[in-house]
Homo-oligomer: A and B are copies of this chain.
């Protein structure tokens, strides 16, 4: 398929949340015709359509315009309900963007062709994303759909991969640890500082170095801190100091335990190698 044929694809975007807000403009900039935005509320559908010249907006899933690709970019839990309610043309290529939903979610609708376009990135309002660097994971039920999706993904990003449902689930879980949970820990550290009037900038160089190191070497191999060195007096001292925050105290204890178990497991493996 030539690039010209590819870019002639008409796209309907279902959803106007974080992913859709970033994906819609990226598709438009790449030269696609985003002809329609559906969302649960008029205001959000219209707001996103306004950014996509030529796009109409609606809240009616039964009157979607004819298009070549329908991208369902709603929250994972809402995908089945959208697929159930929507009227798609026969043989339409319908794609979801969810990490944890299998390709087989489309199995109940044999008249459409199912696919997945999962961007491994976190999207927030007002933060620009450099799409060329976003890994895009593609899966499709048939080779024609797969070729169409690979072509589309390649116009958005330089990092496109075929990733099946099982791998994508694991990748999504890994992303939750690396992104969502990491952010929560940074939130706890931020709150501990601000509640005591300490400037949050104090931790920025440490966080940057932690991440640079963890992306350069296997993180388990560069683990530092009181748990990794089995410094029980410091662990006890820290836990006692967190008494006013039972939730964070429990996380402190369990994460320290997990680090210590990991270190012991590694030691055992090393011994086993002799």
Contacts and interface: CB of A to CB of B under 8 A. Distances in A.
Contacts of A201: 135, 159
Q: What number of copies of this chain does the assembly contain? A: 2
A247 B258 contact: yes
A224 interface: yes
Nearest to A217: B124
Contacts of A4: none
Main secondary structure of the interface of A (DSSP, over half): helix
A31 interface: no
A222 B186 CA distance: 11
Contact of A187 (B206, B219, B227): B219
A84 B250 CA distance: 34
A172 B224 CA distance: 13
Interface stretch (A7-15, A43-51, A174-182): A174-182
Nearest to A208: B211
A189 B178 contact: yes
Nearest to A125: B222
A129 B209 contact: yes
A170 interface: yes
A177 B170 contact: no
Interface of A: 18, 75-77, 100, 120-124, 127, 129-130, 133-135, 159, 161, 163, 167, 169-194, 196, 198, 201-211, 213-215, 218-220, 222-229, 231-234, 237-238, 241-242, 247-248, 250-252, 254-255, 258-259, 261-262
Given A171-B198, A182-B185, A184-B255, 4 more contacts: A75-B231, A170-B241, A178-B185, A181-B252
